[in-house]
Amino acid sequence: MASVYFDHNATTALDSTVLEAMLPWMQTQSGNPTSRHSYGRRSRDAIEHARAQVAEACGAYSSQVVFTSCGTEANNFAVKGIVGIKPAVTAQQILTSAVEHPCVTRPALAMQSLGYVSRHIAVDANGKVDLEQLKSQLVKSTGLVSVMLANNETGVIQNIASIADVVRNAGAFMHTDAVQGLGKIELNFADLNVHAMTVSSHKIHGPQGAAALILDKRVDIQPLLHGGGQEKGLRSGTENVAAIVGFGAACELAIANQKHFAAHTQALREQFEQGLKSLNVTIFGDQASRLPNTSFFAIDDIEGETLVMALDRKGYAVASGSACSSDSTKPSHVLLAMGVHADIARGAVRVSFGAGNTSAQVTDFLATLSNEILRLKQLTSIAA
């Protein structure tokens, strides 16, 4: 049975061109990038070349790119580092949108042990941040606001530049998790007007184990890792040269292919969602601007996890939510924040297309999905 991968928001396959760029740093002797000899200098040059490639993809300067091991680390770095540079002002806030990934909300909660207060910003029924509520919340002393550029579950895109204007006018710092945006939509650090932005390699056909925090050079930040002083003293530890080189190569490919990716995957999504209409499903966030490749939907009276496993047995890889927090059986916090009833939220399934997916795959998937929905509803009826 053929297997079809429809879970590209979780992770992507390593591109052969990216692997080719990485292999010299995996198969032959390379030096520690801090070493002064020729081996070390070559490694350092490779890292700096990759830094320039990542910066170009993000509309930033090379000097603004700080490499990390993953998006989770970069988000923790932003949340803990920016507000942690100074002792906590009494009841100073960290504001995160109600639809953020746990790798943003949990470090914000962790900072409460140091005297900060973590609060959520509400979203509307389409998952868009409530700007009026944000303005009212910013009346209180605020150290950082973090709002993701595009949601990993619904694909809904926030107007980060407008949010950042409000945040800056209140004298707070602004961070955005742009992991899902890189390579799918146009991305420009300067235009977003934020102080810090997270991007990651494995979402764009690069290797796992490399990511970056793009940081406004005027922002003071507390290092997350102390040690040998790598990454301008902000992220100590010997760099993963091969992964960083791969990240740079993946960024170059992603930018070259971004417009084609968007057009191709949006056509697949439109075909898919047209087919969903006959199945009487709920599509989340469909009234908002979304990532072109992402569809998040639910079928009444069918658990999302049950449907995901049924589809997996038929050769289709989809998701019931975020792969990074899949240990939880609770309904999606993103959907609950959007006002979706818990019973409907439990039925949520995410399909995220990639450049290699085809219209024929979507047609076959819709037929399989229809059959599995019918089968599962019959089983539910018999059990009742």
Catalytic machinery residues: 324
CB-based burial of residue 151 (10 Å sphere; 0-12 exposed, 13-18 middle, 19+ buried)? buried
Closest C-alpha to 56, from 188, 243, 184, 168: 188
DSSP 3-state assignment of 336? Answer: helix
Q: Would you say the C-alpha torsion 317, 319, 322, 328 has a positive or negative sign?
A: negative
Give CA–CA dist 231/223, Å, rounded.
Answer: 10
Q: Bridge-partner residues for 316, per DSSP?
A: 4
Give CA–CA dist 172/144, Å, rounded.
Answer: 6
- Read off the DSSP letter of residue 88: P
CA-to-CA dists, residue 323 to 90, 166, 243, angstroms: 36, 32, 21
Give CA–CA dist 178/199, Å, rounded.
Answer: 6
Counting other chains too, the contacts that 258-261 makes at CB distance below 8 Å and 24 or more residues apart are 258/183, 258/184, 258/185, 258/186, 260/355, 261/183, 261/184, 261/292, 261/293, 261/355
Residue 246, CA atoms < 13 Å, CB-side half-sphere: 30
